[in-house]
Structure formats: structure tokens, C-alpha cells
Amino acid sequence: MSQQSVASSREVEHSQAAFKHRGMLVTGLIIAMLFAALDNTIVGTAMPKIIGELGGLSLLTWVTTAYMLTSTTVVPIAGKLADMFGRKLIYVTGIIIFIIGSALCGISQSMEQLIIYRGIQGIGGGVMMPMAMIIIGDLFTGKQRAKWQGVFGGIFGLSSVIGPQIGGFIVDNWNWNWVFYINLPVGVLALVFIVRGLPKHRAVGKPQIDYAGIVTMIVGVVSLLLALSFGGKDYAWTSWQIIGLFVLAIVSLFAFIRIESRTKEPILPVHLFRNRIFSTVNGVGFFLSLGMFGAVVFVPLFMQGIVGTSATASGTVMMPMMIALILASILGGQIVYKIGPRRQMVIGMLIAAVSFYLLSTMNEDTTKLIASSYMVIMGFGIGLVMPLLTLVLQESFKREELGVVTSSSQFFRSIGGTFGITILGAIMNHVSGSELDTKLTPIIEKMPDQLADFKKSIIDMIHTDPHGLYNTLLNPEALKKLPKEAVETMVPILKSTLVDSLHSVFLYGLLFIIVGALLAILIGKVKLSQRSKEEKKEAAIQSVESH
């Protein structure tokens, strides 16, 4: 038997092993993905209780930042290692790390411990999220792959809908520790299904790990994310800390590119970027996340500050968006074979663009119902696009590159989301600061001298943190503590400037979405395989037997 025939028989053996326990494996993937995706939304709900017990309010942002840094950075590394060592070893390792990190978070005795353990948990989460999509790409091809990518995209959206409710229930009925402990039995259950369902990988030869690439990528990505997370808030953009982080990021990422272009087993092969489909699809994902996260962050601010809803009620405005996203993800997996991935992607991006334009027309008369309807439109547009980002890449590359190209999609979307929050936040602060300085500062300065401390704090926030000023002064509880004449004077100005600044945010978000739509046009014609995995397996068996 020829070497090619031997390779074919091994592929058949792998496929037969995978399909032998396919139902068990898919069940494990769903459980693992759901509880990993739920983690962030559940933890967010519990943070007030955690701060109340552990203290460390000044370290609050690090609880989220630590998880984001490790989970984002590890994604492309996990994808490459999965191609080299097999899905089972890497996925099982990721789940075990996530379970250990969750247990450690639950026993944290200080905010510093919680931050460290969240970083560990993020490593596991960063492995788990792309691995589910990679394995779906292994298990299915053609229409089945499109359907399941849509289902898993819907699962990810579902986590955003039910996460806060589950987190609230846990905190109200038990204690905050169970927000993390709940991951343990669920994680073990997922682990059992996946260990049983995933076949073993037989490595050919000794894998060569790109250690230099791993180190330079980690330093570059972490430096970039830290600069984007703390610039303009904890430190000025022109401070030596932020400039230093940007310089370190540029130097490290430049070194990473040089290393990747020369090493035999690169973490993120540079040649992939010369492939039009790879570059444009990841570009679409990047710009979609740029705009989407702007809406997710700033629409609740609009609802609280302008419409006057509570924090909880403002969060429910996002629920219709997520429900629409889930339905569109599932529907998109069904219709993509009728209209084609490029056309569906462009349609989805244009629908999302319409929603951003509508958001930019909201004013003080906008109701919760109208805002929710705009979010439904956005969710439907995004839901048509999101599953395709992974599907198109998986259908366009060979099996041995499946891990790298699938994880790249998750990686560029995560980076895009971070850029989006930073850029749109900076736009809002710039527009708000300028308008507040013109309209509100003169009025504040005319207030009585006995309010000197109050006047100074407001003017300082106008110049340094307009976003924080809105959060403080448009909070009903905070307003009750302020002088009545100050409230009557300031609130109308705050609302009008907030409307103007958010209009700018949504219009820039619209621009990002349009750029993404133009990139989607450039993807070109993508051929989606029509045959199922079973049909391909039978063909491969016949080919082997004929030899």
C-alpha cells in the first residue's frame, strides 16, 4: 500500500472514531461552550457582592482585564497546538485549566488573588472557545458544518441572554463563590463527554514548537491590550506608561512577524495573509466587532441617561438583540447554500449598518420599545454574518490548517472588540468633553462659593472623564444627594450633550460596519462543499480498498 493510501486510511480511521461517538461529542461541546461563554456575564452580575466582601474597588477592572488578556492571547496558540498535537490533548487540557481556575476563584480571599486566578481561568477559556468551532469543522463538512456553526453561534449569543439572570439567581440565593463553583460539576460533565467522544491523535514525527513566536506574540498582544484598556482612563494617552506599552507592542509584534516568516512551524503562518479569503474574512470580523461592541457598551448608557431606565432595565434592551442574533445564526446556517456566503455576509453587514444609522437618530423622546427594535435589527444582521466567519475559513483551507484558521477568526474578533470599545469610548469622551466645556463649565463656575469642592470635581471630570460624569450625575440615587438647583441646571445640558456624543459614536460605528461590508464584497467566490462527512468517509474507504 502506498504512503498516500496509508495516510488516507489513517484519515478514515480518525473519521470513524470521531463518528462512533458523535452524539456524545457534540453534547460535550455544547455543554463546554455554554458554560465557558456564560462565565463572563455571570461574573459581571456578581461583582458588587464580590467587592463588598473582598474590597479592592480600585482593582475592579482588573478582574475582567486579567481574563481578557489571557483568553485573547492564548487563542491562536491553542489553534496551532491543536493542529500539531491533536484536538483531544489541547481541549482536555483547556477544560482542566478552566476548572482549576474556577475552583481557585471560588476560594479567593482577596481581590489580588481573584485577579490572578481569573487570569488562569482565562487561559482555559481561551483554549475552549475556539476548540469547539475547530472540532465542529472536523466532524462536519458542507451543509452540516454550516448548520452546526449557526447553532454554536446561537449558543454563544444565548449566554449573553441568560447569563445575568443565572448570576443574579446564584448571588441572591447562595453566595458569590458559587458563581465559580458552578463551573466545576458542569466542567467535569463536559470533560467526560469530550474524553469519551474525541479520538486520539497520532502525531507523525516530533512536533517543533515555535517558542520564540509564542513569547513575542504574548508580549505584543498583552502590551497592546493593556494600552487600549488603560489609555485615556487610568493613564493619559500621552503618558510614558501608555506610550511605552504601544512601543513594546509594536516592537514585539514586528519581531513576531519576522520570526513567523522564517520558522518551520509558525503559530500564525504569515503566508495565510496572502490568501484573499483569510485576510478579508478576518477583516470583516475585526470591523464587525469594532462596531458591535460600541453598541453593546453605549446603548445601555443611552437608556439610563436619556430614557431614564434603571441599570437592570437598560440591560434588557440588549436581550432582543441577542435573541435576534441567535435566530439569525441558526437561519443563516440554513440559507447560506441558497444565496452564497459572500451575498449573505454583505446583506448581514448592510442590515447591521441600517441599525447603526437608526441608533444615531435616537433622542430624548426615544422609547425603550423603539431602542429595542433597533437592536433587533442589529442582532439579525450580526447573526447572519458571525457563523460565516468561521464557516468560510474552514471550507477554504486544508484540514492540517483548520486549527490555525479557525482560531484566527476568534482572535481577530476579540482584538476588534477591544479596539472598538477604546476608539468609540475615546470619541465619546472627546465630543462630550468639548461640548460640556462649552455649555456646562460656564454655568458651574457661576455657582456659589460654598459649592467649591463640588464645582472643582465636576470641572475635573469634564476634562478627564465625561463618561464617568454621565454615569454619576444621571444616576437617580446620585441626583438625590445633589442641590436641587444644581440638578435643574445641569441635567438638561448633560442629556443634550450625551445625545450628541452618542450620535457621533453610532455614526463612527456605522463607518466601521460599512468598511466591513466592503471587505465582504472583496472575499470573492467561496465554494462550499455539498457532501456530508459520511459521504466523504465512504468515498475514502472505497479509495483505500481499491489500492
Whole-number pLDDT of residue 96: 93
pLDDT in tens, 204-239: 556 677 788 888 988 988 888 888 878 777 788 888
The Cα-based distances of 365 to 307, 319, 359, 431 in angstroms read 8, 21, 13, 21
- Tell me the β-bridge partners of 235: 231
> Looking at residues 146-162, what average pLDDT do you find?
71
DSSP state of 231: B
Output 256 or 316, whichever has higher pLDDT: 256
Whole-number pLDDT of residue 534: 47
pLDDT in tens, 378-390: 989 988 888 888 8
pLDDT in tens, 72-102: 888 888 888 888 888 888 889 999 999 999 9
List the end-to-end C-alpha distance of the chain, in Å, as a whole number. 7
Whole-number pLDDT of residue 527: 72
Residues 6+ away with beta carbon under 8 Å from 134: 79, 82, 87, 402, 403, 406, 407
pLDDT exceeds cutoff 70 at 185: yes
Output 492 or 529, whichever has higher pLDDT: 492
> Looking at residues 448-461, what average pLDDT do you find?
73
Instruction: Identify the band that residue 120 occupies on the pLDDT scale cut at 50, 70 and 90.
Output: very high
Whole-number pLDDT of residue 412: 87
Is the Cα torsion angle 123, 126, 129, 135 positive or negative in sign? negative
Residues 6+ away with beta carbon under 8 Å from 172: none
Phi, psi (deg, nearest 5) at residue 231: -65, 135
Contact 193, 25 (CB under 8 A): yes
Please provide the DSSP assignment of 264-308 as one string.
SS-SS-GGGGGSHHHHHHHHHHHHHHHHHHHHHHHHHHHIIIII-
The Cα-based distances of 313 to 283, 359, 502 in angstroms read 34, 18, 19
- Report d(CA 422, CA 467) in Å as an integer: 12
Q: Please give the share of the chain, as a percent, with pLDDT higher than 90.
A: 12
Classify 202 as helix, strand or coil: coil
Q: Please give the share of the chain, as a percent, with pLDDT higher than 70.
A: 81
Give the total residue count for the chain: 547
Contact 34, 158 (CB under 8 A): yes
Whole-number pLDDT of residue 201: 61
pLDDT exceeds cutoff 90 at 247: yes
- Report d(CA 43, CA 105) in Å as an integer: 11
Whole-number pLDDT of residue 311: 58
- Report d(CA 114, CA 96) in Å as an integer: 18
Instruction: Identify the band that residue 473 occupies on the pLDDT scale cut at 50, 70 and 90.
Output: low
pLDDT in tens, 415-447: 888 788 778 888 887 888 788 878 877 877 777
